[in-house]
Amino acid sequence: MRIAMIGGGYVGLVSGACFAEFGNEVAVVEADPGRLALLQSGRMPIFEPGLETLVAANVAAGRLAFGDSVAAAVDGAEAVFLAVGTPSRRGDGHADLSFLFAAAEQVAHALTGYAVVVTKSTVPVGTGRQIAAIIRSVRPDLDFDVASNPEFLREGSAIADFLRPDRVVIGTDSERARAVLRRIYRPLYLIEAPILFSSLETAELTKYAGNAFLAMKITFINEIADLCEKVGADVHDVARGIGLDGRIGRKFLHPGPGFGGSCFPKDTLALMRIGQDAGAPQRLVETVVAVNEARKAGMAQRVVTACGGSVRGKRIGVLGLTFKPGTDDMRDAPALSILPRLLEAGAAIVAFDPQGMEQARPLLPAAIAYAPDALAAAEGADALLLLTEWNEFRALPPERLAAAMRGRVVVDLRNVYDPAAMRAAGFAYFGIGRGG
């Protein structure tokens, strides 16, 4: 089957490459000339493990191509996926649908025969019907259907998530569209991945509900971690104690500096607005948004306190900048709210991240220096601040850190280090929720 993918970012590129891997002929349209030039020369504009190899194999097999022409991509395509960004709209937190509606209009002008226009981007309830209305207004003659197929992949394990998903959600009113999507996802039927068919609205809401629930789980354990610190309990033991209950589950019970990333912050905010507009306020989600914002803002103070009440004139080595390991994505990373505050408080910052420094540089104040590796970031530092749990940071021996650093303070906002080992190496160690 011929498939067009509009948008070659984290979702469009991975989805396009995986659909090609299923045996389809996929044309990815990318509007950003810089990203497109990289893709056309065989280089990846984003870091995602395994992606370069998967893309190269499918390009070589003639199943995957990149271009900037929507018309060329949709020619003969039975399905056109929209995978463009839906960031928070400046000022009010609603999802900004301008990229999506512009893409839908381009597709409407370009289609030559029947196709299903499938929204992969995360969009508010009602967007699928708005897309149908846009296409109908541009091309009243056109035979088409719309569907919602939200994407659940995680950056860092995106390919495995796409090829072996927990479930696939497909929302559409049209039996013909269902048949096209069933054919596309046939390889997943063979591995018995659950494929859930629903209405457009249900599929659209399922994505937001899923992300909001996960964000709520993280926020819950973060608040329990704060309580652990006050009462002398250990949050990891609490998390294990509750997580082994099958009704709760063990995942997403890891405390940290507050969730960030390209999805949870904007999607919780958007769901909050959707609920308010629909007259069904999502009060838990509203609280999650507020608690998480306050948490990220409060993290710098934690570092100041760990440094004895002031960081003025102190050098802080920072390990990790991205919102999680396995990606170069800096969108809404906690580093973006913590590090500027530390600079304002008078600290000098030397940071290292294995993949994120290029993306981080334009988003962070120019006064931040970057080190070529983790030990170089720790060199001469009064305090070490771990922000992202990359594996290579876990493996750093405490004695090596102690030898490199001037001071003896470690603030570990992901709890990757063993407090006893850190203390044995002479560090004042500050984790999260490890009150015991």
Ligand X SMILES: NC(=O)c1ccc[n+]([C@@H]2O[C@H](COP(=O)([O-])OP(=O)(O)OC[C@H]3O[C@@H](n4cnc5c(N)ncnc54)[C@H](O)[C@@H]3O)[C@@H](O)[C@H]2O)c1
What are the residue ranges of helices labelled H in 232-379? Answer: 235-243, 264-278, 283-306, 335-344, 357-360, 374-378
Q: Which of 4, 11, 125, 147 binds ligand X (CB under 6 A)?
A: 11
Query: Which of 3, 4, 7, 432 is the binder for ligand X (CB under 6 A)?
Result: 7
Interface residue with ligand X, options 4, 27, 29, 416 (CB under 6 A): 29
Site for ligand X in 177-236 (CB under 6 A): none
Q: Which range in 9-17, 127-135, 166-174, 315-323 contacts ligand X by CB under 6 A? A: 9-17
Tell whether residue 155 is a contact of ligand X (CB under 6 A). Answer: yes
Least Cβ distance, residue 388 to ligand X (angstroms): 16
**Contacting ligand X (CB under 6 A), which of 58, 127, 172, 262?**
262
Site for ligand X in 363-392 (CB under 6 A): none
Amino acid code (one letter) for 369: A
From the list 6-14, 242-250, 273-281, 391-399, the region that binds ligand X by CB under 6 A is 6-14
HSE-CB at 123 with a 13 A cutoff on CA atoms is 28
**Does the protein bind ligand X through residue 35 (CB under 6 A)?**
yes
**Cα–Cα distance measured from residue 229 to residue 222, given in angstroms and rounded to the nearest whole number:** 11
Of residues 85 through 124, those in contact with ligand X by CB under 6 A are 85-86, 99, 102-103, 106, 121-122
**Is-catalytic flag, 263?**
yes
CA distances from 115 to 54, 122, 143, 274, 413 (A): 26, 21, 7, 29, 48
Q: How far is the CB of 391 from ligand X (least distance, A)?
A: 20
Q: Which stretch binds ligand X (CB under 6 A): 29-37, 169-177, 357-365, 419-427?
A: 29-37
Scanning 24-32, 181-189, 229-237, 397-405 for contacts with ligand X by CB under 6 A, the matching segment is: 24-32
Contact status: 263 vs ligand X (CB under 6 A): yes
Find the residue with minimal CB distance to ligand X.
9
Residues lying near ligand X in the complex (CB under 6 A) are found at: 6-12, 29-32, 35, 83-86, 99, 102-103, 106, 121-122, 151, 153, 155, 262-263
Residues with catalytic function: 263
